[in-house]
Every structure is written in C-alpha cells, then in structure tokens.
Amino acid sequence: MQRAGIWGGSGSRAGRILAPSALSLQVKENNYRGHGDSVDQLCWHPSNPDLFVTASGDKTIRIWDVRTTKCIATVNTKGENINICWSPDGQTIAVGNKDDVVTFIDAKTHRSKAEEQFKFEVNEISWNNDNNMFFLTNGNGCINILSYPELKPIQSINAHPSNCICIKFDPMGKYFATGSADALVSLWDVDELVCVRCFSRLDWPVRTLSFSHDGKMLASASEDHFIDIAEVETGEKLWEVQCESPTFTVAWHPKRPLLAFACDDKDGKYDSSREAGTVKLFGLPNDS
C-alpha cells in the first residue's frame, strides 16, 4: 500500500490549513502533537467540523478536537498506517496500512468492527456518498468497488495505465476523482462510471485529492512544490498554492472553503527549521 492523502496528513508528523481567497488570505496556525511517527493522512468527520482523525506510521490513529487542539482518542492498530477515511454517516473509520490490510473501526467505541486483507497493492480508500459501497485504488491502475458492509467485490474499473494512487468523492454526489502515477487527475461520473475530464498540471505522481465542501473546487498535489486547485466543471486553474516540499495529503474543510495539507518535512530534508510530525491548520476564522 502506498502513502496517499485540505483537511488531510503526510510523510511528516505535520499538516496545514489555509483559506484561499481571491482578495485576501487570513492565516491562523495550530499545532496538533502526539504521534510518534509520520502523519501520512488525515480526514475530517463528515458532519462535525470540530473533529478530524489522523493515520500514522506509529501504528495508531488519533481523533482530534480543533477547539482544544487536544487528542480525544487514540486507537492502536496492527500495522503502519498510511490511509484513512471516515464513512459518510460518521459511524466508521477505515484505516489502511502498508501490508494492504484495511481495518474498519467503530467511531464511538474505537474498536475494530472488521478487517480485510487484500492480495493487491491497496493505495487509497473511500466510501461512496450513499455509504453502501467501498472503493479502493490499486497498484494496477484499477478502481476496485466492494459492497458495504458485506465487502463483496462488485466491479473493477481500469482507470489509469499506471498505478492508481488516490480517490475522492464530490460532496454533491455527481463525481469522484482519481489520481495516478501518470501525473493525471481523472474526473468520473458517479452514475455512469465514465471519465468526463482530466487535469494535467502536475508533473509528478498524484498523491492526494480533495473536493471542496460545495463540490466546485478540486485540490490535487504530488511531489511538485505546489498544490493545484481547479474548477471542477471547467478544469481551469483557480489557485496554485506554493509548498516548501512535496505534499502527500490534502483535504478541504467539510463546511468552509478552508484547505489543509501536510508536506514531507521528516528529518528536515527540505526545511530543517520545521518540526516533523505536527498537524497545522491555516485559515481558521479569528473567532474560532
């Protein structure tokens, strides 16, 4: 399983959030410390804007409260975690590790509900918006679709000619997007399961994707030192967010035009002044 991921995690123990605006950019930064290894991905609770969860190589996931910047729950897992997602109904957290094992954790009891070992390289994971199917991208360029909660195979789509790394669903239920080692982002019609548009401004394998809360913007990132923010319906570039190092995870806030991302800051490879393993938030309102 490969590392994937703007409320999202990375090869650091750290993430950021920013609010893109054509007129201004207000910045506020918070740090969330506690993991003992890299934070490879984070995601927000689908309906509670104060909670997010992080997946780490320290074999734990942690649930955080933005209001207090405190960890409110730590769940031990079997392997080094690199991918995580929260079910649309908020009841289940799915986390994938480097051994291609996906564990389904009850979000209230913090106990494992199910565990699935896959025989192919699992990259990123996601429920569909209706919560009745579970999608995985794999190392063969395919999208595997399973029934949920039964986890029975439904369909496999040949999405890219090379490794299909990441997947995200449009909150409006119209599209989902995939990112691949071919540096392309593909936009898919949910009902027809056909590709309707491609985005090609990145030069490196696409590691992470996220739709804005209104489904109008799509953020994508890679080892390029910028994040591309595109208008979904036209494919046009809206913003280019500069980064100091490769980005391995991005995620939009579930209710606001706020963006989070985490870069490869581990061991000071790109910026020795930046502490690895800290989740950072940018663009929070001053009254939050």
At 124-141, the pLDDT tens digits run 999 999 999 999 999 999
Residue 98: which of 135, 139, 128 has the closest Cα?
139
Q: What is the pLDDT of residue 272?
A: 53
**Is 50 part of any domain?**
yes
**Is 250 part of any domain?**
yes
At 36-66, the pLDDT tens digits run 888 888 888 988 989 999 999 999 999 999 8
Which parts of 191-265 fold into alpha helices (H)?
none
Q: Are residues 174 and 108 in the same domain?
A: no
**Is 237 part of any domain?**
yes
The total of structural domains in the chain comes to 2
For residue 105, what is the domain's CATH number?
2.40.10.480
Q: Are residues 173 and 259 in the same domain?
A: yes
A 10 A CB-CB count for 138 gives 22
**Is 123 part of any domain?**
no
The structure tokens listed for 71 are: 């960890």
Instruction: Please give the DSSP secondary-structure letter assigned to residue 12.
Output: B
| Mean predicted confidence (pLDDT) in 63-79 | 92
Q: For residues 3 and 141, which has the higher predicted lDDT (pLDDT)?
A: 141
Q: What is the pTM of this model?
A: 0.79
Cα separation, 135 vs 269, in Å, equals 33
Q: Are residues 198 and 108 in the same domain?
A: no
Q: What is the SS3 assignment for 83?
A: strand
Cα separation, 155 vs 157, in Å, equals 7
Q: Which amino acid is at 122?
A: V
For residue 242, what is the domain's CATH number?
2.130.10.10
Domain assignment of residue 183, given as a range:
162-268
List the helix and strand counts (H, then E) for the chain. 0, 25
Q: Is residue 51 within 8 Å of 66, Cβ to Cβ?
A: yes
